[in-house]
Chains A and B, each alone.
Chain A
Amino acid sequence: QVQLQQWGAGLLKPSETLSLTCALSGGSFSGYFWNWIRQPPGKGLEWIGDINHSGSTNYNPSLEGRVTVSVDTSKKEFSLKLTSVTAADTAVYYCARYDYHSAEHFDSWGQGTLVTVSS
């Protein structure tokens, strides 16, 4: 059974760098897109970016320049870095696997990490 386990710092000060990692167990890393998605308090879900096993990335234009998604296939892990955070980056952050073969959908999610940005 595919499982995604994520971790990272939950409290940051403005201007610091958000760093989260997501590890895959029970599945293959190739053939999917690996995503980061967030949900600010009281707001909807926002796609942040994705990466495939080869390291090819796509980013939300509104975050481009601050966001980096990377992958370590040997560890079956992928990571998110978001620089120069502000209070607007306070959100629950999720990692998720995207299946684009048979059907376009996110078929597995991490448990979410609440990241709070506060001075």
Chain B
Amino acid sequence: ELKVEQNPLFLSMQEGKNYTIYCNYSTTSDRLYWYRQDPGKSLESLFVLLSNGAVKQEGRLMASLDTKARLSTLHITAAVHDLSATYFCAVKNTGTASKLTFGTGTRLQVTL
């Protein structure tokens, strides 16, 4: 059974600082997603990572995937308050068409 773990579960950081969120998963997969969720809102797709060594960047967020280590990272550069949200990684279950297993989320709070 695929398990997805994120850490930390909660992160409080000051504006301007850098930090990394980690996503580990237990079985082979060919696809990993990062989502953002604001309180009471939809999940917003941030990145889709399809292959080993994939790196994608959007603004202050950069995601990478190491399929051999079964690890993805979401790196935050020079955090700003607007990045405060909960971030989820989700891994596609191999052998299924589209079933995703989500991590428990990392709640990010960026303070002034």
Tell me if chain B binds chain A.
no
Q: Which residues of B approach A to under 8 Å, CB–CB?
A: none
Q: Which residues of A approach B to under 8 Å, CB–CB?
A: none
